[in-house]
Structure 1
Amino acid sequence: MLKVGDLMHTQADIPAVVESAPLSEALLEMSAKKLGMTAVVDGENRISGIFTDGDLRRLLTKTHDLRTTPIADVMTRRCTTATPDMLAAEALAVMERKKINGLLVADEQGRLVGALNMHDLLRSGIV
């Protein structure tokens, strides 16, 4: 049985910015890593939130300066996460139930260790 840890993006492939980063930096990170999201982390790499393509679309209906707005002001704070030992099928069920396309992966202390999106599950044959 496949686990999230077998499929997730790790280390330099994880899209992530610090809480103080401007929105523009988050958008560049999302574009570079191509997962449709970026994690927002604190100084100890604990997940503070997430910013997704959907968040960006909703944000475009409001007035924000992309260069100066801190990502912490526009991120989703209480994001759903997975653990590396979670079954991939469980992660899929969570994504379907929450109607989301990606999950950040956290260790027991809430530190960012990976990222997973629906395309990873499709490539694995889970979907």
Structure 2
Amino acid sequence: MVIVIGLLTINKPDLKYQRTTDETLVHLILNEDELYPEDLVGIIEMEEPGYAIIDLRSPYEFIKGHIRGAVNIPTNSLLDKENLKEFKRYASDSVTVILYGQTQLEANGPWMILKQMG
């Protein structure tokens, strides 16, 4: 009986992947979405529209210093409803999202999740 009740209360996940893991890995291997520091400097200096710079570090690290114009969305809150709405807005407005953290590896996981979500 407990199992039946448990099964009846399970909610369907709100998040659905639009791309397969294999499709996402192909993008990663081909470096299609890789951005080099000198490219980012140009975007920041020219204040080019159409870009959102997301700092994935903790709020503490963000306060200590961050890239000018960056928004702090820590990795652990990346998939919060409010943040997902923001990412959907970026996508609908054709805004290129640039993720960064302490290291490239820190940004790879969130990039892969967002890429799979479309």
Q: Same fold (TM over 0.5)?
A: no
The two structures have a TM-score, normalised by structure 2, of 0.32
Structure number with the higher strand fraction is 1
The two structures have a TM-score, normalised by structure 1, of 0.31
Structure number with the higher helix fraction is 2
